[in-house]
Structure 1
Amino acid sequence: MNKTPLLIVTGVAVFGTLASPPPPAAATLEPRRTGALARFEQQEIVWHGCRKGPDDAAGRRLDAARARCAEITVPLDYARPDGRTIKVAMSRLEATAPGRRRGVLLINPGGPGVPGLSQVLIGSAMPEVAARYDLIGMDPRFVGRSGGASVGCRWDTGTFVRSAGPSRATFDEGVTAMRRLAAGCAGSDHGMLPHASTRNTARDMDLIRAALGAPKLSYLGVSYGTYLGAVYLRMFPGRADRFVLDSAVDPDAYGPGLLRPAGPAMEAALRAWAAWAATRHDRLRLGATAGRVLATVDRIARAAGRRPLRVGPHRVGASVLPYVLAARLADDGEEAYASLAADVALLRQAARGARVTPAASLDLLLTDALTGAGEGFDRAGTPVLCADRAASRDPGTYFRDIEAHRADEPLFGPMTRNISPCAFWPTAPAEPPTDVRTDAPALIVGAAGDPWTPHTGQRAMRRALSGSRMITLRGAYRHGVFLAAGAPCVDTAVTRYLSGGVLPAADTTCTRNGAGG
């Protein structure tokens, strides 16, 4: 996921449902390639400008940075390489020091469902890395400019990450909504849905590597991108060079139920923000103690549970409020915390019946969450989640899980444990989940208080990748740390590894001021 979770989520388009028991055997190494794939590996790449029209701001920025774009042809179904094909869009920013060039570094921003072409632009923030690598951005299959866009879901809502609300009745309303959203995806080409998987995206990455003539691929992935990177490491260990995984997901939990363990981490992040707000009570007036700030939030939540709050043109009910708060908690910086405080103050007024107008940032967040007018990353990402791992199709399973944790996860548990469209998906995964366990080296970095991909899951990724090393940023409650957390201990270690190949000697922890252990 980017620093704004999706999705959602943006960056974290990782959604909460209970997964069905995995198949008996988990997919692991990629079978030996056949000659049928040679034509894809040897295809000529035709580079061109990135801007697609006068309103293409992203393409204009890429062109201004002297990046180039292209499309490669890949099989829709790698088991049938002579069958249907699709196009995958990519961008490249060439190494700034050609004489020191090491290879190619592919960057994935998370999601799933987030376009990646613009990721090459972060080269300006890591000049030593940009000197050594051609930076590669990629819109994963069925996302952005890549082929198979018909797989994207047709919804009038921006995200399905919704809370079940306070009762069985509100949960049942959500079940009806999720069934409708799944039908909005079922209207696409059913034959393509099973091929939206992470395993196929990893295969696409390897074809990009081959078409570029690179013997190995280096990689930087955030949030969902850490799972994609781990899948590539497992499937193609001999073709992986230097891999960095930022804010890692639990590889055994990844799929429709990825958010399920995140409720306690979100509650902890909310408490950390509340403590910050309490020290500024003379200005914010949200509560003089963390407990009183949390009581303010609770009163807002109770009011939204009785009747949706009127926030400009939006209606913020119990199903949406937890997502709005959790999205803001993805960043623990001073500016982000102040923005959340302003949102809470506004929502408190709305809870009291006042007519309020949201600030531009809150209006954008609500537009993305409530309408089909936003970026809609999880409309593209949902087919990936549902193709990667099957979900339980029994609504009662989700409700019982929510009720069992309602006391200790009162605000976020009904969201992270809620049902999703995958419970009503029209097709089954074409392959079992990937067992990512491998001794291939990698560097894993993350915040100890990450609300979207909890530290327990980051540690699970570390155990699965036995050849990796892990750096944990203590005292941080954010999603995404490299170049985003103001933590030199993380930024220096990642740069050192990518540019020089030096992994830390052991797992370490550090703080933003540099203190480590």
Structure 2
Amino acid sequence: MDIRRLLSTSTLALALGGLLVSGCSSGKSASGASASATQAQAPNAAPSPDLASYYGQKLKWHACGATGFECSTMTVPLDYKKSADGDIKLAVSRKKATGPGKRIGSLLVNPGGPGGSAIQYLQGYAAIGYPAAVRARYDMVAVDPRGVAHSDPVECLTGKQMDAYTQVDETPDDKSETKKLTTAFRNFAQGCEKHSAKILPHVSTVEAARDMDILRAILGDKKLNYVGASYGTFLGATYAGLFPARVGRMVLDGAMDPSLSSLAMNRDQTAGFETAFKSFATDCVTHRDCPLGTKSAADASHRLEAFFSRLDAHPVPTGQSRKLTESLGTTGVISAMYDEASWPELRTALSHAMAGNGAGLLALSDSYYERESNGSYANLMAANAAVNCLDLPPAFSSPAAVTAALPSFEKASPVFGEGFAWASLNCAYWPTHATGTAHRIVAKGAAPIVVVGTIRDPATPYKWAKSLAAQLDSGTLLTYDGDGHTAYGRGSDCIDTAINTYLLDGTPPKDGKKCS
């Protein structure tokens, strides 16, 4: 389990991806971390001569996927600082505006991750699930970011190795278990270096944002229209910081706070999952079938902690060769926090697991990790770690540092704190050094940017949206008083109307607008 992955929104039901970070301003960030004052690298200048060929390329489109979709491949430099070092290919897909109405331009979408396939999101949801009026006037477009899915994917472990990795105990009780955990982190990192050494230093969010600007130019758009969810909000905000004058209509849903250090971010997210679990527990105890009792949310929390402790000592059969361990069980519960529609499934899965059948919780965990029934895994978790560990210095440098921070994580979440703290150690063993730092993003001069926050969002706590909206020179905060991760397209007419109006006529909602 790696909590620094933020899952995406949409009715694709926990199959796509979401996490991590960038910006501009001086002084200290809200977390106390030093904030960068650098705005960008000539953000609004014409492409430099060594990039002109990339900006001027023509895409060759061909039919792909379901009816109406087209696919192509774009070329970008592996290293923007040394464009002579070679190229990489990025997969692109689109579905043209259907009409009626005058075409506005392209609308680039990203579901989060880092590591979520934007093309899968486009073809499986956005290009058919976004409102008809939006699809009528925009070409719906997606590019898998570098290192993700169809774009030179980062590869680390085999399916069997990933099975072993996801089962490692992340609440070590002694030195022996701690060593097993750190060995697992090292083996994962070494696997990534072995299989993906060339691209590993070049999958940062800044580089992915620069790729998006090349795509904008190739598509013939003067400005970038964009909807990003979860980690996609950090990618979009990073673009705005680099190219403020090229920002069109931009929606950042389930926003991240780029001013936070990795430690602060992981601890905040721990608290976010605690908030989400309390909401689930409050609902659960009102149902007769609640496996955590019908007394109170606090009692339900204690019962879940006790269940995890039992799993730690005695994993539960699942009907497969894999048993439900504490780590897999925890991930299963976490996965259901992203969408309140999953709460009934979680109640059933917990009931069965507590009775000795862990198949339901294992299925939820497998969905989170994008594990297929044949034992293979998508590259989501590999890309997730690669981007996260490049974007920010590690939260912890050693097991001793984790131990020292445990009280603060356990305070943030008595249920999940210990496991989340240890999961935050993974980047300490990464083979490439971080190239990014925590910093504020101002994007001075950008068109209005709509920042959306959900009050009980587990993965991107609401205070992150408030912070990002305040940082952005043109930020407008739109609040959803609800549960689950992200807000657009999740059942609130108020939220959807505000965003659709902005996308279609450019009028942002009033700053501070609140919906339920």
TM interval, short-chain normalised: 0.7 to 0.9
Of stretches 396-405 and 163-172 in structure 1, the one that deviates more from structure 2 is 163-172
Q: Contact conserved, 1:246 with 1:445, CA < 8 A, in 2? A: yes
Of stretches 499-508 and 436-445 in structure 1, the one that deviates more from structure 2 is 436-445
Q: What letter is aligned with 2:386?
A: P
Shift of residue 10, structure 1, vs aligned partner: 4.8
Q: Contact conserved, 2:18 with 2:231, CA < 8 A, in 1? A: yes
Q: Contact conserved, 2:18 with 2:116, CA < 8 A, in 1? A: no
**Aligned pairs for 1:239-254 within 5 A:** 239-253=246-260
Say which of 424, 429, 433 aligns to 1:428: 433
Matched, 1:34 2:34: no
Distance in structure 2 (CA, Å) of the matches to 1:7 and 1:227: 22
Q: Which residue of 2 aligns with 1:53?
A: none
**Unmatched 5+ stretches in structure 1:** 51-58, 512-517
Q: What letter is aligned with 1:28?
A: Q
CA-atom RMSD in angstroms? 3.0
Matched, 1:382 2:385: yes
Matched, 1:127 2:132: yes
Q: What letter is aligned with 1:252?
A: S
Sort the Cα spacing of 1:405 and 1:205 in 2 relative to 1 into closer, same or farther, 3 A: closer
Distance in structure 1 (CA, Å) of the matches to 2:12 and 2:262: 15
Q: Which residue of 1 aligns with 2:92?
A: 90
Aligned-partner SS, 1:492: helix
Q: Which residue of 1 aligns with 2:338?
A: 330
Identity percentage of aligned residues:
29
Q: Contact conserved, 1:8 with 1:111, CA < 8 A, in 2? A: no
**Aligned pairs for 1:69-468 within 5 A:** 69-97=71-99, 100-121=102-123, 122-125=126-129, 126-146=131-151, 148-149=152-153, 151-155=154-158, 156-157=161-162, 164-165=170-171, 167-169=173-175, 170-253=177-260, 258-281=265-288, 283-284=289-290, 286-290=292-296, 291-313=298-320, 314-333=322-341, 336-350=342-356, 357-358=359-360, 361-362=363-364, 364-365=366-367, 368=370, 373-391=376-394, 392-407=396-411, 409-418=413-422, 419-430=424-435, 432=437, 435-439=440-444, 440=446, 441-468=448-475
Deviations 1:226-282 (A, max 9, x none): 00000000001111101001101121237586433122221221121122121111x
Matched, 1:506 2:511: yes
Q: Contact conserved, 1:231 with 1:434, CA < 8 A, in 2? A: no
Deviations 1:384-437 (A, max 9, x none): 111111214223112211244335522211233223432111121345556422
Sort the Cα spacing of 1:357 and 1:395 in 2 relative to 1 into closer, same or farther, 3 A: closer
Aligned-partner SS, 1:86: strand
**Unmatched 5+ stretches in structure 2:** 1-6, 22-30
Shift of residue 22, structure 1, vs aligned partner: 7.0
Distance in structure 2 (CA, Å) of the matches to 1:9 and 1:194: 26
Q: Which residue of 2 aligns with 1:49?
A: 63
Q: Contact conserved, 1:93 with 1:136, CA < 8 A, in 2? A: yes
Q: Contact conserved, 2:35 with 2:440, CA < 8 A, in 1? A: no
Q: What letter is aligned with 1:102?
A: I
Sort the Cα spacing of 1:296 and 1:6 in 2 relative to 1 into closer, same or farther, 3 A: farther
Distance in structure 2 (CA, Å) of the matches to 1:12 and 1:508: 25
Distance in structure 2 (CA, Å) of the matches to 1:372 and 1:26: 46
Sort the Cα spacing of 1:39 and 1:363 in 2 relative to 1 into closer, same or farther, 3 A: closer
Distance in structure 1 (CA, Å) of the matches to 2:181 and 2:10: 24
Distance in structure 2 (CA, Å) of the matches to 1:447 and 1:433: 23
* Superposition TM-score, scaled by structure 1 size: 0.86
Q: What letter is aligned with 1:323?
A: T
Sort the Cα spacing of 1:240 and 1:382 in 2 relative to 1 into closer, same or farther, 3 A: same
Shift of residue 97, structure 1, vs aligned partner: 2.2
Aligned-partner SS, 2:162: coil
Aligned-partner SS, 1:316: coil
Sort the Cα spacing of 1:434 and 1:92 in 2 relative to 1 into closer, same or farther, 3 A: farther
Q: Which residue of 2 aligns with 1:55?
A: none
